[in-house]
Structure 1
């Protein structure tokens, strides 16, 4: 076969391949376009969610007393408000702003409470919808921005190794409170890993038969 015939055959094969590839690509794009549907908007009345949350925990005469706040938020109110204040000042996601219609969005309290509930209880993102009036996707965004904001704003001060001065201060506090030699109190819990890869399941399964991750928390007296 001459070189000219070989070149002509190769050119025709390339043209045929390009036609087939283009048809397949167009079919895939068309199928994906048909599957895309406009997401249904749900009016959740976010203002009502903020008002309920404020009256329940943050007003001058809240529905639930301080010990229930400590139990449900896993920290005292002063610490929680400090976190909310820092996040709303320094992280754009937590700033209370108006949308294009002039309506205020979710408040920093709603967003931080959603993140704390997901972290504190290990619950699904859609469990805060009915009370806080925010969607599942927004709750996930709250959690992501909350953890990133905490690392950014408090990492240098709290998420570091203790210095000798820190250790001595904690030892002195522990001794005054009747616990000589104690640096801090530690607690552990097993948190179920719902989406644990099958190949890893045996490494994270104990007596319950379900894969879990051990969470450890160390706290000083002033938490």
Structure 2
């Protein structure tokens, strides 16, 4: 579903009383931005405001990235890899993230050709999130330089404004919008779009709505346990390894 990672934004005018909380390994006060980025650099999840003393794991514990799944509002997902079916999407991560069913990281020390190919493919795609941070900072000098505002709320507004404008640029420049130059395309909401399907740009997709109902504590805990299942993480990574090898292994073996 995308790649997830965090970026530190230096906070030059951090109040003196807060510097201990926001000062991380760099010995400078920073505020953390967590995002999920798709292949075209569209940022569809952003969580900002965590102190710079936190690492990616601490940010994840506070992040609302899984709130829709835990509350039963997320669309249902089903896909098959290497003959096995899974009902949860996953994010590509670096090695610091936990081995959950919803996270797939690269293999730290790949030994076999299969593992090496899997790591190459995973790392090449996960660079999308790093590239998105670079594009954000290149487009908006205000977040490339140390922040001068005096409150986290003001910094949050600045970051969100930059992300919204970034997504507007990405949407405008996507090549799969065949008629994006025609303003009448967006003048009215089409019923099929409301139902979860779209024909824009000759592309069709269907989303199964989530369960819009209150959940009790037992269901909530069971859903969280499935999200954090390490066995599913191992099984999914092995299936992805076999799938990638079946798709690209011959090219990898014959490459110089």
Smaller-chain TM-score range? under 0.3
Q: Using structure 1 for the length normalisation, give the TM-score.
A: 0.25
Q: Which has the higher helix share?
A: 1
Q: Which has the higher strand share?
A: 2
